[in-house]
Structure 1
Amino acid sequence: MTNSNDMPLAAKPIDRAAHRRLDEAWLEEAFARKDVLVLLMRNGEPFVHPGRDSGLVWMGPEAARLSPGSPRLFLGEDKAGTPVFALDLPERFALEGSLIEGAGEFLDFRAAAGSIPDMDGNCASTARSIFMWHQSHRFCSKCGSESAMVEAGWKRQCPACGAEHFPRTDPVAIMLAVKDGKALIGRQKMWPPGFYSCLAGFCEPGETIEQAAAREIFEEAGVVADAASAEYVACQPWPFPSSLMVGLILEAEGFDISIDEKEIEVARWVTQEEMVRILNHSHEEIFGPPPMAIAHHIMKVWSEKDH
């Protein structure tokens, strides 16, 4: 059975210890502890060991010497009570001549996330989402003044008008429309040739995630699906930049396809047998999303159903 707690980027989360976020004295002391764990980010890219298969480079209190004044996020505490932080280094930060020269590399998040341990992936995913939110929300949306990072990185507050701003997560429906042993998949023009996945789209104000799924299926592929038939599969935090992907399977009314070329390049129905081959890389035309993505798991759940 698919479980959101086991989903890549969500599995093995640490205790966020939110009660610590207002305790400035504790946070300063924790960041200086000998056992502190600090992950590094630069422009949304995590700092990982060379070879790309060993996980994050975790630093200790020496991380404070890398870039004094850089944004710092308290992620929480691990099972041993060890404080865990993330440090957002400036885009201009150079490895050459730095304290961490030769220790690793900053790597594109998608490339890194597929091969790092579960806890590393969850911590790095959280840090990426929060840091990118801070970068794009420097100014108060109420009065326009520059706001400040507070509460260990989990809030911004405007010093001029006092408005509080919190990191946002955008709900996204990602789904398969299915009918009579077939499932609908599609591809965007920008994707590599042969790559297909589930359809997906943002949930709009005033609608449920099931209604969003049905609407997106119709808008992108012209296929009518019943929102009331939606079967929940799992959800996954997705830090590009900060979404919650909610996986669903919906019953379609028919097979006729009429795509919106502004949304997708093509859509097609595949059988259960084809889906199995897509996922095990033996299909002659199509390959699908990797296990890191929830789309892979939605497709897998459907491919293993009794039809």
Structure 2
Amino acid sequence: MKHAETVTFGGSGLNRAAELRGDTADQLATDINSRTIVLWRGKPLIAGTDHDRLALLPMNHILFADLPPPQVPPIFLGLSDEGHPVFARDVSAWAPEGLDTKSLQQFFDPSEQHHPALPNDHLFLELRGVMTRLSARDAELAATARAIFGWHKSHRFCAACGAESRMAMSGWQRNCPSCQTPHFPRTDPVVIMLVTRGNKVLMGRSPGWPEGMYSLLAGFVEPGETLEAAVRREVVEEAGIKVGAVSYLASQPWPFPSSLMFGCKGEALTDEITVDPNELEDALWVSREEMLQVFAGQHKKLKPARKGAIAHFLLRNWLADRMD
């Protein structure tokens, strides 16, 4: 495996067993060996005193018995290394007592939810907060489930005729009962750029981000556009910097809500920054020496990129001269 594939949510070798989706997976949902991970409003159920593993529950666990409508069918994620079916269940219809709705609307939700039918160490936690503690397999399962459930939530209605569509193929398809159009999960391609000029890297800050949060510039790839063209366009639009040579570094599924981040390296041809205030609040060049201070938590202005995000991965490997 290339070093680039060790990014959080990177490939863990999960056997997604797509050939089992549909009737076969529906039958497997009743298998005594089948297990399910659980999400509540996008937050996975995490087990352990260190909050370092996904909880795997039996398909008939009491947690699912008294859920109010709407009840969402399970999604088949694949097979474990032992060959047992693994599913995902959504329990967002459950209403915890004393729910702090303001926390759910924050950029990072620090709140914890505990269902009374579960052990005390089983909590629904923000995936961004636990993603680096999870094994590669658990991280891939959680990211996949979060993205798929998010797609179902935002694509309930047929884009062809407007009728409400229905989940099919164990969660990997939606079919329109009115015009028979099938719909499939979408992933939005996004470029995130390690733009360098000599000893410096370009960093930017979006409006509304927490104080001190800066990251690599990023943007969606437009229809009819290559990754290289997207890198050059986004950087010149957001910061006024022209980029020459572009190369691919690594990719990361990013389920917030459903992106595939393409990490690229770009060589800047110019220095002067002209920020587009509609895109960025600020942008600046940061030297290697300064970035070492940032990672050590000693920079007076910038805070380290969040561990687990591809920006942190790319910057850390840039500092280590390991971009393979």
TM-score norm. by structure 2 comes to: 0.87
* Equivalent residue number for residue 195 of structure 1: 213
C-alpha distance in 1 between matches for 2:52 and 2:114: 22
* Equivalent residue number for residue 304 of structure 2: 288
Distance 1:63 1:211, change over 3 A: farther
Structure 2 residue 229 is the aligned partner of structure 1 residue 211:
yes
Structure 2 residue matching 1:233: 3-state secondary structure: strand
Q: Which moved more, 1:144-153 or 1:297-306?
A: 297-306
Structure 1 residue matching 2:249: 3-state secondary structure: strand
| Structure 1 unaligned regions, length at least 5 | none
Q: Which moved more, 1:202-211 or 1:91-100?
A: 91-100
Q: Does the CA contact (< 8 Å) of 2:115 and 2:123 recur in 1? A: no
C-alpha distance in 2 between matches for 1:7 and 1:96: 30
Q: Does the CA contact (< 8 Å) of 2:114 and 2:124 recur in 1? A: no
* Equivalent residue number for residue 139 of structure 1: 157
* Equivalent residue number for residue 263 of structure 1: 279
Q: Does the CA contact (< 8 Å) of 1:2 and 1:301 recur in 2? A: no
Following superposition, the deviation at residue 183 of structure 1 comes to 1.1
Q: Which residue, out of 52, 56, 65, partners 1:58? A: 56
Q: Does the CA contact (< 8 Å) of 1:66 and 1:99 recur in 2? A: no
* Equivalent residue number for residue 86 of structure 2: 84
Structure 1 residue matching 2:57: 3-state secondary structure: coil
Question: Number of matched residues?
Answer: 302
C-alpha distance in 2 between matches for 1:298 and 1:189: 22
Q: Does the CA contact (< 8 Å) of 2:114 and 2:122 recur in 1? A: no
C-alpha distance in 1 between matches for 2:171 and 2:115: 28
* Equivalent residue number for residue 43 of structure 1: 41
Structure 2 residue 277 is the aligned partner of structure 1 residue 275:
no
Q: Does the CA contact (< 8 Å) of 1:273 and 1:303 recur in 2? A: no
Any residues of structure 2 matched to 1:100-111 within 5 Å, and which? 100=118, 102=120, 104-111=122-129
Structure 1 residue matching 2:241: 3-state secondary structure: coil
* Equivalent residue number for residue 30 of structure 1: 28
1:271-302 Cα offsets, whole Å, 9 max, x none, are 12222222232333322212300001111232
- Structure 2 counterpart of 1:234, one-letter code: A
| Structure 2 unaligned regions, length at least 5 | 97-112
- Structure 2 counterpart of 1:34, one-letter code: I
Structure 1 residue matching 2:311: 3-state secondary structure: helix
C-alpha distance in 2 between matches for 1:154 and 1:101: 31
C-alpha distance in 2 between matches for 1:202 and 1:96: 36
Structure 2 residue 268 is the aligned partner of structure 1 residue 252:
yes
* Equivalent residue number for residue 104 of structure 2: none
Structure 2 residue matching 1:274: 3-state secondary structure: helix
1:176-209 Cα offsets, whole Å, 9 max, x none, are 2211221111112322222211000000001111
Q: Does the CA contact (< 8 Å) of 1:156 and 1:165 recur in 2? A: yes
Q: Does the CA contact (< 8 Å) of 1:38 and 1:63 recur in 2? A: no
TM-score norm. by structure 1 comes to: 0.91
Q: Which moved more, 1:103-112 or 1:72-81?
A: 103-112
1:7-44 Cα offsets, whole Å, 9 max, x none, are 1112414100000003x1x3233222222221001111
Following superposition, the deviation at residue 131 of structure 1 comes to 0.3
Following superposition, the deviation at residue 102 of structure 1 comes to 3.5
Q: Does the CA contact (< 8 Å) of 1:2 and 1:234 recur in 2? A: no
Root-mean-square deviation (CA, aligned residues, Å) is: 2.1
C-alpha distance in 1 between matches for 2:25 and 2:201: 50
Distance 1:147 1:185, change over 3 A: same
* Equivalent residue number for residue 10 of structure 1: 10
